Amino acid sequence: MGGGPHLLLPICAVLLALMALAIVASAQTNPPASGDWIINDDTTITNRAVLVRGSVNVNGGGRLTLDNVALTIQPTYDGSNGLTVNSNGRLTMSGGSYGSANAMRVKFTVNTGATVAMEKVVFHEPVYVGDLVSFYGELVRLGRTSITVRVNPGRRFIQARKNRQAKQQAGQQAGAE
């Protein structure tokens, strides 16, 4: 048998190269201890709670899959942080929940050209009495066994206006007494 030790070095080099490729192929961006969580690759999180002290941004080419994950955003002020899926980004949520770590509001933004799939997700974000919530749907594709509808939700925060009106009325009543 010829070659013995001479073949060992090339075989080891090939194995190391394959292992390096496997690591790169399975690379993902785990949530940071603080700051924004930026997704530019395929990232999958399963069966856990995730607290983000910043925003979550799924950029073009990035794919974030959350399976049975409680995603909690800790905003610095009302509406300052949230989850954004940018054009050519993809978010898939199955089970789990989404909400704020404190009483402040968090955003959920899906930009044009982004893909979002959700199933059995609970949003822990209040919609106050008097807020206007609208969903606008557009038929994208009609198949034999399925349809694709683009839904654009919208919400107007008119609670603040109602609070101001209530305070003004209370002030006028107090002044009249």
Which one-letter amino acid corresponds to residue 50?
Answer: V
On whether both 116 and 135 belong to a single domain, the answer is no
On whether both 116 and 133 belong to a single domain, the answer is no
Phi then psi for residue 176, to 5 deg, are -80, -20
Written as one string, the DSSP assignment of 18-29 is: HHHHHHHHT---
On whether both 132 and 108 belong to a single domain, the answer is no
- Does any domain span residue 38? yes
pLDDT tens per residue, range 83-140: 899 999 999 998 888 888 887 878 888 888 888 888 877 766 665 556 655 666 778 8
The tally of domains found in the chain comes to: 2
On whether both 38 and 118 belong to a single domain, the answer is yes
- Of 91, 108, 126, the residue that ends a domain is 126
Instruction: Name the pTM for this structure.
Output: 0.60
pLDDT tens per residue, range 43-52: 999 999 999 9
